[in-house]
Amino acid sequence: MEIIDLLAANLRRLRRLRGLSSAELARRAGVGPATLSLLERSQGNPTLETVTSLATALGVPVTDLIDGQRRAPVTVVRADQGARVTRPNLDLRFVHRFSSSGLDAVEFYEMTVLPGQEYRSRGHAGVENIVVTEGTLIAGPVGEPVTLSAGDFVAFSADGPHIYATTGEIAAKAVLALRHAQGDLGPEPVSGSVILSLADEIPDADWQEEQA
């Protein structure tokens, strides 16, 4: 396959993977929409500056646009793998972290909330996106949490105090996707995880005592 064909295929693939229209990618890269359209159809004679600008806008090295062998690896995390943080009524398993663009990262967690006293986080960087898979979960900013059933979804900024709790005697299970700027990770992150790196993640009773 010719380099121009590899460039065209990789541009289309990466643009769609990022959820970008041709016009938006052209705008971010500072190239003409017509130029990008030609490149995605294996036409034109792009300069190195144009290819570099497109790679920067897509958040990948230039080699990812002209290398036919580069493909996203298959990542498998088994059920018994992943660092954990455990509290009296909350268990989080860090599953995977990936960069969604040049600036943002997304971390996936498996969450189990047990019956009993609510768990309160003092807050951390990012936006939490939670979908409930089992039971009833109460989650959200302190003062305005929402009650969710299996299949329900909630997203909220995690930079202030927020809670997790469940009702009745049945544990609630959910998948949590935390999106944050890459610079939000501490200097020595635990397994690449914002939440597992926090020294101030403490149970609600201790949090209230400290604030008193």
- DSSP secondary structure, 93-107, as one string: EEEEEEESSSSEEEE
Listed in sequence order, the residues at least 6 apart from 103 whose beta carbon sits closer than 8 Å to its beta carbon are 59, 181, 182
Between these two residues, 99 and 150, which has the higher pLDDT value? 150
Q: Which structural domain, as residue segments, surrounds residue 53?
A: 3-66
pLDDT digits (tens, 9 = 90+) for 56-78: 988 888 888 887 655 556 778 88
In this prediction, residue 110 has a pLDDT band, given cuts at 50, 70 and 90, of very high
In this prediction, residue 211 has a pLDDT band, given cuts at 50, 70 and 90, of very low
H or E, element range at 122:
none
pLDDT score recorded for residue 53: 92
What DSSP state is assigned to residue 43? -
* Claim to verify: residue 42 and residue 88 sit in the same structural domain: no
* Claim to verify: residue 89 and residue 190 sit in the same structural domain: yes
Average pLDDT over residues 188-209: 47
H or E, element range at 35:
helix 33-40
Residue 30 has pLDDT above 80, yes or no: yes
The tally of domains found in the chain comes to 2
C-alpha to C-alpha distance for 71 and 77, rounded to whole angstroms: 19
* Claim to verify: residue 62 and residue 89 sit in the same structural domain: no
63-67, 78-82, 109-113: which is most confident: 109-113
In this prediction, residue 14 has a pLDDT band, given cuts at 50, 70 and 90, of confident
Structure-token pair, residue 165: 């709790």
Residue 104 forms part of a structural domain: yes
Cβ burial 36-45 (10 Å sphere, 16+ → b, else e): bebbbebebe
* Claim to verify: residue 40 and residue 88 sit in the same structural domain: no
Last residue of a domain, one of 66, 101, 121: 66
**Torsion over CA: 196, 199, 204, 205 (sign):** positive
CATH code, domain with 58: 1.10.260.40
CATH code, domain with 138: 2.60.120.10
* Claim to verify: residue 156 and residue 88 sit in the same structural domain: yes
* Claim to verify: residue 44 and residue 106 sit in the same structural domain: no
Task: State the average pLDDT for the chain.
Answer: 82
Residue 212 has pLDDT above 90, yes or no: no
Count of beta carbons in the 10 Å neighbourhood of residue 93: 20
* Claim to verify: residue 99 and residue 32 sit in the same structural domain: no
Q: What is the 3-state secondary structure (H, E, C) of 38-107?
A: HHHCCCCCCCHHHHHHHHHHHCCCCHHHHCCCCCCCCCCCCCCCCCEEEECCEEEEEEEEEECCCCEEEE
In this prediction, residue 20 has a pLDDT band, given cuts at 50, 70 and 90, of confident
Residue 139 forms part of a structural domain: yes
C-alpha to C-alpha distance for 84 and 18, rounded to whole angstroms: 30
**Torsional class of 121: left (φ above 0), alpha (ψ -120 to 50), beta (otherwise):** beta
C-alpha to C-alpha distance for 67 and 49, rounded to whole angstroms: 17
Residue 101 has pLDDT above 70, yes or no: no
